[in-house]
Structure 1
Amino acid sequence: MREAIPVYSLSTFGPDTNDFRIDVLPYLLLHYPFLEHLHRLSYYMLIYVWDAAGWVTIDNEKIHAEGPKVIFAKPNSICCLDLNNRATGFMVCFTEHFFSLRYNNNVLHRFAFMTQHVSIATRISHEQSGKWDHLLMQIQNEFENIFEGKHDLLRSYLNILLHELDRSIFKLPVKEEKNIKHIKIIRFEQLVEDNYAHHRHPSFYADQLHITTNYLNKLCHEFYHTTSGSIIRSRIVKEAGRLLHHTAQSVAEIAYELGFESASYFITFYKKETGITPENFRKSKTLKS
């Protein structure tokens, strides 16, 4: 198999970084040149751009990095940065483990933008940017200090930051606490993320959730107006698109990586879901590059 896209953890930035870090954008790529090359995230990444020239590539989307703008990517996304050295703003990276140490498992998914199946790139007003500047400078100062309780404060600041992003995107009124149905659908999404390459049947996920397949479909219709099978297939298509666009792996190799019995089965599946063959999708992306 041809060389796969490297997966980077936060420890790639340095031996003292495991679960959280913040960096300023000026000369970011000079200090961390690996960010210029395609890599797969194992952490959440938030980039706040005040002013820059360049692009941020996340999966199949190329985002113009002019500000003020916030760009957000989740674990497993394939990305690379192409920013000039005079870019201004911040990059915040963190793991779910870091956040959940204080706020419990699944709580990240209370943010509406976390349920989106695409990367987030949203403009913010100049008035909002003043708040972002102030908050991110506080986070940077706390990250650099050596006092006791540092990580607790960083989690609190991160919580505020994510709430600000949620409000900037959706501008929703106060929401009710998530009920048991919402908790089930969140857990389903997490299970799909972990198992899509090996389990394509909704019955597997229903069993893991201790509910029937019919009830799982009812939940998917209620929250996403689609079926559980469609959500699973969409995740497979998303990963296939990443690999077709960003790697030189053959269609047969990608089919094997995604758990298909044969390349022909994968080609049939992909064309049925997207209306285009894997090779033609790859050619279309090559022509646009």
Structure 2
Amino acid sequence: MAKVPVLKQCTVSDVLQSDTTVERLSTYLERNRNLVFPHRHNFYHFVLFTAGGGQHSIDFDTFDVVPWQIYFMSPGQIHTWDFKGEMEGYVVNFEADIFNAILQRSDYLSHYSFLSGLVQNDVFEVREDDRDHIIHILERLRSQKQDKDFVCISLLYLFHIFEQQRKGVASERMPAYNHTLLRNFLNLVEEHYKTLRLPKEYADMLYITPNHLNALCKEKLGFSAGEIIRNRVILEAKRLLVIEDYSVSEIAYDLNFKDNSYFTKFFKKKEGMTPEEFRKIQR
């Protein structure tokens, strides 16, 4: 069966063998002008817009492009764009393992809010006070992208700037313990959403009560733990529905629903339309 294309760096990069791409958005789009179909990446990807318009979508959430907006994408997310006008800005693609030589923690990237895989955290506007400084760093990265140590340190410094800005949006910083719990919960959902659907099952793995897990999710993410699990199931259903060769029955089976009818009811209750109607709209 056909699948949503998963792009590798060598497909979109200006260099055949590279674990990092740093270049001007206009150059990147000129080389990848046909990349307007839904696709996934097997690498991390972020774009800073400095000019242009139109729209882009990440996992079916659509955003209007505005100057100084930045978006982040983690591997596996589905992305499309419909840009308008003269686009300018910067594109950075990088492999997760480029930091292995200088970081001892393999899960380090997951602690950045904008690399959580939650779309509401992945798109934001860069603060005006930071803009000139960020452009300077990106230009240095662009000119010295072959220096792997410089790239790694500069990217981590950029991430620190972005994370400080994101924390400024929140009214208070999440305690480290709660942050770890929430991050572990989201990782467990990503791993088990096809087979485990009850908050209690995840709470047991985290050694906390379902009430504690639910309260933490509502406070920090705005959704109950059950909603987060169901949202992940719906997201995967949407990803599969944009693949024309997958039947609704095959999707229901892949997502571990007992039958097609139950899957359709589940989807319609959440989205207000049947899977077939959603697929028709996406086409």
Q: Which moved more, 1:217-226 or 1:134-143?
A: 217-226
Shift of 1:204: 4.4
Q: Deviation at 1:130?
A: 1.7
Cα 1:195–1:100 change in 2 (3 A) is farther
Judging changes above 3 Å, is the alpha-carbon distance between structure 1 residues 74 and 55 closer, same or farther for their aligned structure 2 residues?
A: same
**Aligned AA for 2:230?**
R
Q: 1:57 to 1:275 in 2, by over 3 A?
A: closer
3-state secondary structure, aligned to 2:48:
strand
SS, match of residue 102 in structure 2: helix
Which of 130, 155, 159 is residue 158 of structure 1 equivalent to? 155
Distance across 2 between alignment mates of 1:114 and 1:136: 19
Question: Any conservation in 2 of the 1:27–1:85 contact (CA below 8 Å)?
Answer: no
Unaligned segments of structure 2, at least 5 residues: none
The secondary structure found in structure 1 opposite 2:229 is: helix
Q: CA deviation at 1:134?
A: 0.6
Letter in 1 for 2:232: R
SS at the partner of 2:26? coil
Matched residue SS, 2:91: strand
**Which residue of structure 1 lines up, in the alignment, with residue 73 of structure 2?**
73
TM-score (norm 2): 0.81
C-alpha deviation, 1:214, in angstroms: 5.5
1:138 counterpart residue number = 140
Deviates more, 1:39-48 or 1:226-235: 226-235
Corresponding residue number in structure 2 for 1:265: 262
Unaligned runs of 5+ in 1: 145-149
Aligned AA for 1:156? I
* Letter of the 1:44 counterpart: Y
CA deviation vs aligned residue, 1:121-162 (integer Å, no higher than 9, x gap): 333355533222111011112214xxxxx3232222112212
2:41 aligned partner? 41
Q: 1:227 to 1:176 in 2, by over 3 A?
A: closer
User: Which residue of the partner structure matches residue 180 of structure 2?
Assistant: 183
Distance 1:231 1:176, change over 3 A: closer
Equivalent of residue 247 in structure 1, options 243, 246, 262: 243
Tell me how far apart the structure 2 counterparts of residues 191 and 177 of structure 1 sit (CA, whole Å).
Answer: 20
Q: Which of 225, 230, 234 is the aligned partner of 2:227?
A: 230
How far apart, in 1, do the equivalents of 2:84 and 2:29 lie?
Answer: 8
Of residues 83-92 and 38-47 in structure 1, the stretch that sits farther from structure 2 once superposed is 83-92
Partners of 2:106 and 2:143 lie apart in 1 by 27
Residue 215 (structure 1) shift: 5.0
Cα separation, partners in 2 of 1:190 and 1:98, compared to 1, 3 Å: farther
Please state how far the C-alpha of 1:285 moved relative to its aligned partner. 4.6
Q: Secondary structure at the match of 2:119?
A: coil
- For 2:6, the equivalent position in structure 1 comes to 7
| 8 Å contact kept, 2:114–2:123 | no
Q: Secondary structure at the match of 1:63?
A: strand
Tell me the SS of whatever aligns to 1:153. helix
Q: Is the 8 A contact 2:69 2:124 kept in 1?
A: yes
- Mapped to 2, the partners of 1:38 and 1:114 lie a distance apart of 20
C-alpha change, 1:173 and 1:242, in structure 2 (3 Å) is closer
Query: Does residue 117 of the first structure (1) align with residue 118 of the second (2)?
Result: yes
Could you tell me which amino acid in structure 1 is paired with residue 270 of structure 2? Answer: E
SS at match of 1:49: strand
Cα 1:100–1:221 change in 2 (3 A) is farther
State the AA in 2 paired with 1:111. Answer: Y
State the match for 2:23 in structure 1. 23
Q: CA deviation at 1:173?
A: 8.4
Letter in 2 for 1:107: Y
- Match of 1:36, SS? coil
Q: 2:131 aligns with which of 129, 132, 136?
A: 129
1:51 lines up with 2:51 in the alignment: yes
Q: Is the 8 A contact 2:194 2:256 kept in 1?
A: yes
State the 1:24 CA deviation. Answer: 1.6
Cα distance change of structure 1 residues 215 and 102 upon mapping to structure 2, 3 Å threshold? farther
User: Structure 2 vs 1, CA of residues 126 and 173 (structure 1 numbering), >3 Å: closer, same or farther?
Assistant: closer
The equivalent of 1:147 in structure 2 is none
Greater mean deviation of Cα atoms: 119-128 or 45-54 = 119-128
Check the 8 A contact 1:29/1:36 in 2, yes or no.
Answer: no
